[in-house]
């Protein structure tokens, strides 16, 4: 984990699996470019959870990439999320590894439910809180058949959200569904 001596909190977890993940993502041909199927999946995820933002997120050693993205303006670009991720109003699908909560989900290999990130000092200090205004997060890891955590599916909101057990079950089921799609793609079925 990275240690911030000014805040005395462990911020971004050390990710020893990153090189293996990157090799697997390259073999699968995902994680470098926007993908219409992943965008459609993110749209559906946002609809199912009634969240303004949803992502299919792949993570390498230094950054996160939203291969699938749903934003309130429904264009997948131009939102506060992508603009803040890129800095200076630029539009992109990348975010630094130390921004957001998905790197925690990947390293933990478990879903994460944060109904109000401000209730958790470890997560309240994340840059997405101040820079983007994120207040709630729900995410699950994408663990493929080789055992590699490729990334996450997640939803975020700028308001606290009572995700509850049903939210946890939903995000885990959606992650399992997407992994099956990735496996079918790998097997030549998509």
Return all residues near 65 (Cβ < 8 A) that are at least 6 apart: 31, 32, 57, 58, 59, 93, 94
Does residue 21 fall inside a structural domain?
A: yes
How is residue 175 annotated by DSSP? H
CATH label of the domain that carries residue 134: 3.30.450.40
Answer yes or no: is 105 within a domain: yes
pLDDT value for 2: 47
Domain tally for the chain?
Answer: 1
Q: Render pLDDT for 168-189 as a digit per residue (tens, 0 to 9).
A: 999 999 999 999 999 999 998 7
Look-up of token digits 């470890």: 122
Structure confidence at residue 74 (pLDDT):
57
- pLDDT of 51 over the 50 cut: yes
| Full residue range of the structural domain in which residue 113 is found | 3-185
Residue pair 52/157 in contact (Cβ under 8 Å)? The answer is: yes
**83-127 per-position pLDDT tens digit:** 444 444 433 799 988 888 999 999 999 999 999 999 988 888 888
Q: Is residue 190 part of a domain?
A: no
Structure confidence by residue, pLDDT tens digits, 116-165: 999 988 888 888 888 888 999 999 999 999 999 999 999 999 999 999 99
Most distant CA pair in the chain: distance in Å? 51
Cβ-based neighbours of 40, under 8 Å, separated by 6 or more: 68
């Amino acid at each position: 984990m990275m240690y911030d001596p000014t805040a005395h909190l462990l911020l971004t977890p050390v990710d020893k699996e990153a090189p293996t993940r990157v090799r697997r993502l390259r073999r699968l041909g995902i994680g470098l470019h926007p993908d219409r199927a992943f965008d459609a999946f993110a749209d559906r995820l946002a609809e199912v959870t009634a969240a303004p933002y949803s992502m299919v997120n792949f993570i390498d050693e230094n950054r996160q990439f939203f291969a699938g993205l749903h934003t309130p303006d429904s264009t997948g670009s131009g939102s506060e999320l992508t603009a803040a991720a890129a800095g200076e109003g630029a539009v992109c699908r990348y975010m630094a590894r130390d921004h957001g909560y998905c790197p925690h989900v990947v390293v933990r290999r478990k879903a994460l439910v944060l109904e109000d990130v401000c209730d958790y000092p470890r997560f309240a200090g994340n840059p997405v809180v101040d820079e983007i205004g994120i207040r709630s997060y729900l995410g699950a890891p994408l663990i493929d058949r080789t055992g590699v955590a490729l990334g996450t599916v997640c939803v975020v909101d700028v308001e606290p959200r009572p995700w509850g057990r049903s939210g946890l079950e939903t995000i885990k089921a959606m992650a399992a569904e997407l992994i099956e799609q990735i496996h079918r793609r790998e097997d030549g079925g998509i």
